[in-house]
């Protein structure tokens, strides 16, 4: 199946808008899920073009869902459904999860308001499937005051999530620190994008190879 960029370039259906450098990130973190029965949930879908692209990208076994605040964003087609509601409304988000199950992929391309992004993440990440992937897009808004951002803003999403790097290594420390993100396997920071991968903590085996001294 084609890369996301090829699909985007050839897309001639509903409107979609993405920064070009996101495409490589998608392929790096999501290509292993192609042709599998995955559930994807994207927050902020505009006219629905991104959902159609994800449907093409992952194939016929995938189920693609969207969330948007604008009632005009509601539409249905085979494998695709959009829910209308506020990404900070946990009652609404719980309703969505009860209907779609645990998503394998969650993409936040919603309001980009920093407090919204964090509240949505805090609620949805625990509902992400084991081995799931959570992507936060357009993180350049973390530096714009109109989105509650700024390098020194206490709501800056990049800054807040950068402090969770210790959560990848919880099995190695004994200090009385409660992880903010449980089951965090890895966190990746890119230009305007943060990718978090979830995996249940597993026993790590230290392996050694032996060779006789010469």
Distance CA 13, CA 198 (A): 33
| 112 catalytically annotated | yes
CA 139 to chain CA mean position, Å: 12
- Report d(CA 90, CA 122) in Å as an integer: 10
CA 109 → CA 134, 202, 205, 209, distances in Å?
A: 11, 31, 38, 46
The answer to whether the CB of 78 falls within 8 A of the CB of 56 is no
Q: Which of 11, 29, 112, 140 is catalytic?
A: 112
Phi-psi region of 162 (alpha: psi -120 to 50; beta: other; left: phi over 0): alpha
Cβ atoms of 47 and 85 within 8 Å: the answer is no
Q: Which residues contact 154 (CB under 8 A, 6 or more apart)?
A: none
Annotated active-site positions, please? 112
């Amino acid at each position: 199946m084609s890369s996301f960029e090829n699909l985007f370039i050839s897309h001639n259906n509903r409107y979609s808008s993405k920064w070009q450098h996101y495409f490589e990130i998608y392929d790096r973190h999501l290509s292993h899920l192609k042709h599998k029965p995955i559930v994807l949930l994207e927050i902020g879908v505009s006219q629905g073009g991104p959902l159609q692209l994800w449907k093409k990208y992952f194939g016929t076994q995938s189920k693609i869902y969207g969330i948007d605040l604008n009632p005009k964003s509601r539409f249905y087609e085979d494998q695709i459904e959009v829910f209308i509601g506020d990404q900070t409304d946990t009652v609404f988000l719980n309703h969505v999860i009860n209907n779609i199950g645990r998503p394998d992929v969650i993409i936040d391309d919603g309001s980009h308001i920093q407090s919204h992004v964090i509240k949505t993440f805090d609620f949805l990440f625990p509902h992400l499937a084991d081995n799931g992937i959570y992507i936060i897009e357009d993180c350049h808004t973390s530096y714009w005051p109109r989105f509650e951002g700024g390098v020194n803003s206490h709501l800056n999403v990049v800054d807040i999530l950068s402090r969770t790097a210790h959560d990848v290594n919880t099995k190695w420390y004994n200090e009385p620190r409660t992880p903010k993100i449980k089951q965090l396997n890895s966190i990746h920071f890119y230009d305007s994008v943060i990718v978090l991968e979830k995996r249940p903590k597993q026993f790590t085996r230290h392996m050694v190879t032996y060779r006789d001294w010469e």
